[in-house]
């Protein structure tokens, strides 16, 4: 069967805001593709260090059970003297390609209804601000996009879920078939003392498929609304300018 070697090239991305932390790698291994394109599925070796300042290549291990063991770089030392690893479990996809104008030959694709990007791993923070997507399929808006949902699964692993359609990073998404040939890069925060996490899933799901595989996600959006609809209460309103309305001249009846 004829094989085609797909090779990385460095792409110059202009006009990116300085605080967008994910960066494209300068060197990526070659890999062979037999036919393709294929429906995307998680293969651990497809995900590499997204930023070696956050996660060194030598601190990534690809396990036989299709998981990734990683050890993030320290981001600093907390007040309690314990190292912190904020956003430093940084991975990016190794399948991104240089042939941006030939998306029909991209290796992997997703469908438009697979709009949930889900990551599952051990010892990950569930706090907003501790998990960000910076690049998605080649799109970068200078933003850090936090997860929509964080769920602790029954076995203790943490699930992080993004609704891709709400990320603002949909530049290279098509109407029906979306070829995953652009750079995707994200950063997670390990909670273990040594910065180690084991990633067991990085995949795209429909909502129904996601909750079929991870039933705990079904209740993630059911948090009761604790806000109170506005109604007029006189004491909520005070003088806006005491030079115009002195405080001792208003009366609450």
pTM: 0.73
Q: How many CB atoms lie within 10 A of CB 10?
A: 11
Residue with tokens 């996009």: 145
pLDDT tens per residue across all 253 residues of the chain: 333 333 233 333 333 333 344 444 433 333 334 556 778 889 999 899 999 999 999 999 999 999 999 999 999 888 888 889 999 999 998 866 444 444 444 568 889 899 999 999 999 999 999 999 999 988 999 999 999 999 999 999 999 999 999 999 988 877 677 777 788 999 999 999 999 999 999 999 999 999 999 999 998 865 433 334 445 666 657 676 667 777 676 676 7
φ/ψ bin of 9: left (φ > 0), alpha (ψ from -120 to 50), beta (otherwise): beta
- Any bridge partners for residue 92, and if so which? 48, 185
Q: What is the pLDDT of residue 119?
A: 98
Cα-based distances in Å from 178 to 114, 169, 209? 10, 13, 18
Q: Is the separation of the CB atoms in 233 and 224 below 8 Å?
A: no
Q: What is the pLDDT of residue 108?
A: 80
Q: What is the pLDDT of residue 186?
A: 97
Q: What is the pLDDT of residue 102?
A: 46
């Amino acid at each position: 069967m004829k094989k085609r070697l797909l090779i990385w090239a460095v792409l110059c991305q202009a006009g990116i805001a300085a605080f967008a932390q994910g960066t494209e790698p300068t060197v990526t291994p070659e890999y062979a593709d037999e036919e393709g394109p294929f429906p995307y599925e998680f293969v651990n070796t497809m995900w590499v260090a997204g930023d070696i300042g956050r996660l060194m290549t030598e601190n990534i291990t690809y396990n036989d059970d299709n998981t990734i063991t990683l050890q993030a770089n320290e981001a600093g030392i907390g007040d309690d003297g314990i190292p912190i690893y904020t956003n430093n479990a940084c991975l990016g996809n190794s399948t991104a390609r240089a042939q941006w104008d030939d998306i029909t030959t991209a290796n992997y694709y997703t469908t438009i209804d697979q709009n949930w990007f889900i990551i599952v791993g051990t010892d990950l923070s569930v706090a907003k601000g501790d998990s960000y997507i910076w690049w998605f399929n080649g799109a970068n808006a200078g933003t850090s996009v936090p997860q929509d949902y964080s769920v602790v699964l029954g076995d203790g692993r943490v699930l992080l879920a993004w609704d891709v359609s709400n990320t603002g990073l949909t530049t290279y998404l098509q109407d029906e078939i979306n070829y995953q040939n652009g750079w995707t890069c994200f950063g997670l925060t390990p909670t273990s003392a040594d910065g180690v996490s084991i990633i067991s899933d990085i995949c795209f799901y429909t909502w129904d498929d996601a909750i079929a595989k991870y039933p705990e996600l079904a209740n993630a959006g059911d948090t009761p609304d604790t806000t109170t609809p506005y109604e007029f209460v006189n004491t909520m309103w005070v003088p806006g300018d005491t030079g115009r309305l002195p405080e001792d001249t208003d009366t609450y009846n």
